[in-house]
Structure 1
Amino acid sequence: MAKPENDNRTAFWLVIPSIVVLTVVIGYPVASSLVRSFFGDGIGEVPFVGFDNYASALWGTGAKEFWGATGFTYGMGAITIVLETLLGLGMALIMNRAFRGRGLLRASVLVPWAIPTAVAAVLWKWAFDPAGIVNALIGQQIVWTGSELPSFVAIVIADTWKTAPFIALLILAGLQVIPEEVYEAAKIDGAGAWRRFTNVTLPLVAPALGVAVLFRLLDALRMYDLPAILTNGANGTTTLSILVVQSTLSQLKPGYGGALATLTFLFIFLTAYLFVRLLGVNAVDTGAERPRPARRGRKEGVR
């Protein structure tokens, strides 16, 4: 039998290649962006400006644009996460039930998530066209990308349609590991459907639900392609990622863009850290320790 020390050593050497790849793919761009953020803009030799780019973004000439993008990113992320969690939980509960055609339903639900985001954004852009199917269905002539509120609603609808199946998939995985005996014991104790949902299902699926929300939160805060294709950041729909790309490429400000990218990374990191710390470590729990129904002896009094 292998010793735990040998297993730990083997696991360490197996993880090393992944750490090296992540360092090269993620660590190097982050470090390069951080270094570039301390220099001015231009081509060739650029002056060292220290924290001037950060000051410009936080309280200087670019503060209004930066905080506007931050507010939209977090507001859009909060609304879409709530909607996607509710829809994903409902879809997962339906897909977890035993009925004919369940496999076909699961495959159909995952189709929106399997479609590339850029393709889905183009499809929704056609749908939200003034002469598109959305206006035809509701009987209105709304220019969805012509003002702030319709643009916001269009992005929320498209993102919820795209990502709710992802949350449903993770929640479904958590539902399938709940022992059926727990529900049977709750029924014997007289718990109705709502009591079983609130006292059994939700507590036991909480780890999977927490992981799903955490992943979706990270994805929402770095969103770029969906709003970029639908509105191109117009009408107050500029996300932090869009702002970084516009500053770096369109405005040819690599130093300022590096500062924005670093601030975006810090905001996302701190948000994820606070999410895990404030909402509990159970958000990333594996769910290994789950309550089990008490065993009943064959004779009364035996436990």
Structure 2
Amino acid sequence: MTSEASGSAGPRRGRLGIVLVSPTLVLLAAVIGFPIVAALVTSFRGDPALRDGFFTGGGGFAGFSNYLHWVAQRCGDTACPPGTLGGQFWTSVLVTLFLTVVSVSLEVVLGLLMAIVMNQSFLGRGFLRAVVLVPWAIPTAVTAKLWFFMFSYDGVINRALGLHVLWTDDAWAARFAVIISDVWKTTPFVALLILAGMAGIPGDLYEAARIDGAGALRAFSRITLPLVRPALLVAVVFRVLDVLRIYDLPAILTHGGGGDGHATTTLSILTVQQLRQGYGGASALSTLTFLLIFGVAMALVRVFRVNLVQSEQHGVS
């Protein structure tokens, strides 16, 4: 009787679990699934004609022409002229990847240093941790506007450094202005994740390392870095995916262009610009952006999973 009751309880619990999670699954399908499917379907439709600021007529099935417009830089049957949105696709990809690599690299290095400092025992440590999180708590739009005034020609940056740089009008200066602003805002987030990983490291390990004669650098490389690696990898994944879809910071700081007009035009900004010309091309561009982010996310998860498995196999030496 007991075995039969326990055997029948399993399927009942399984059915009950399905019933309990089904409302959430339906809600996710409506909020996330439907827009994705609608955008994918729209990406295969042509854009209606634009007349007097209004769309006239309906766009029929266009096949892969919207995708070829971006990937192959084609406008119909002819190549896009220089400077058009179609020709900017690969430029936007390179700009997005450049901002991602540089910003995340700086944030990881600075965040690791900040976490090491905040993990020490000293008077006022709690106050320092609270102050460090202030940039991360500020809304991105406010941050962008703040740095916009600081990077102006007669702003604080030029006055403090004695420079005469048009930060938002020069191509490379505009890119580095976006990077500096993004690093200032989100480095505390990375530091917070790394600090959480450091808090779980037993102090006995450092004491044993000191007894064995290991210096601070060796203890960091053999104890801190391996044990904090999971938190560090999570921070990298979060930040990479976040910067790949960055929009508001460069859109407000450099008006989405900077310098030559597309120096800071990321894929998200390019998608919004394309919306003014038609939904078919914008949907195709958003789908390509999604595939890029999805591919990068899968690659990072696979690489980091291998690193974590190898770290667990070798242990802390």
TM value normalised by structure 2: 0.84
Give distance in 2, aligned partners of 1:110 and 1:193: 27
* Paired letter, 2:71: L
- For the 8 Å contact 2:222–2:316, the answer to whether it is kept is no
Tell me the equivalent position of 1:115: 138
Tell me the equivalent position of 2:224: 201
Tell me the equivalent position of 2:61: 48
Give distance in 1, aligned partners of 2:313 and 2:128: 31
What is the Cα-based RMSD across aligned positions, in Å? 2.5
Tell me the equivalent position of 1:238: 265
Give the C-alpha shift of residue 23 in structure 1: 2.8
Tell me the equivalent position of 2:150: 127
For structure 2, the residue ranges without an aligned partner over 5 or more in a row are 1-5, 49-54, 75-79
Tell me the equivalent position of 2:77: none
Q: Aligned in 2, Cα 1:13/1:37: closer, same or farther, shift over 3 Å?
A: same
Tell me the equivalent position of 1:188: 211
Does 2:122 correspond to 1:99?
yes
Give the C-alpha shift of residue 18 in structure 1: 4.4
Give distance in 2, aligned partners of 1:178 and 1:10: 40
Q: Aligned in 2, Cα 1:155/1:176: closer, same or farther, shift over 3 Å?
A: same
Give the C-alpha shift of residue 180 in structure 1: 1.2
Tell me the equivalent position of 1:300: none
Spell out, residue by residue over 1:82-110, the C-alpha distance to the aligned partner (whole angstroms, 9 max, x if none).
Answer: 00000100111111111111111001000
Give distance in 2, aligned partners of 1:151 and 1:289: 45
Give the C-alpha shift of residue 281 in structure 1: 4.4
- Percent identity, please: 49
Does 2:298 correspond to 1:273?
yes
* Paired letter, 2:282: G
Tell me the equivalent position of 2:31: 25
* Paired letter, 1:101: G
Does 2:288 correspond to 1:263?
yes
Q: Which moved more, 1:115-124 or 1:39-48?
A: 39-48
Give distance in 1, aligned partners of 2:316 and 2:98: 40
Count of residue pairs the alignment pairs up: 287
Partner of residue 84 from structure 1, selected from 107, 112, 123: 107
Give distance in 1, aligned partners of 2:132 and 2:33: 36
Give distance in 1, aligned partners of 2:120 and 2:15: 43
Spell out, residue by residue over 1:187-236, the C-alpha distance to the aligned partner (whole angstroms, 9 max, x if none).
Answer: 22211100000000000000000000000000000000000001122231
Give distance in 2, aligned partners of 1:71 and 1:221: 11
Tell me the equivalent position of 1:164: 187
Give distance in 2, aligned partners of 1:16 and 1:77: 37
Give the C-alpha shift of residue 26 in structure 1: 2.3
Tell me the equivalent position of 2:52: none
Partner of residue 198 from structure 2, selected from 175, 181, 186: 175
- For the 8 Å contact 1:182–1:292, the answer to whether it is kept is no
Give the C-alpha shift of residue 172 in structure 1: 0.6
* Paired letter, 2:283: G
Give the C-alpha shift of residue 292 in structure 1: 8.1
For structure 1, the residue ranges without an aligned partner over 5 or more in a row are 294-303
Tell me the equivalent position of 1:64: 87
* Paired letter, 1:258: S
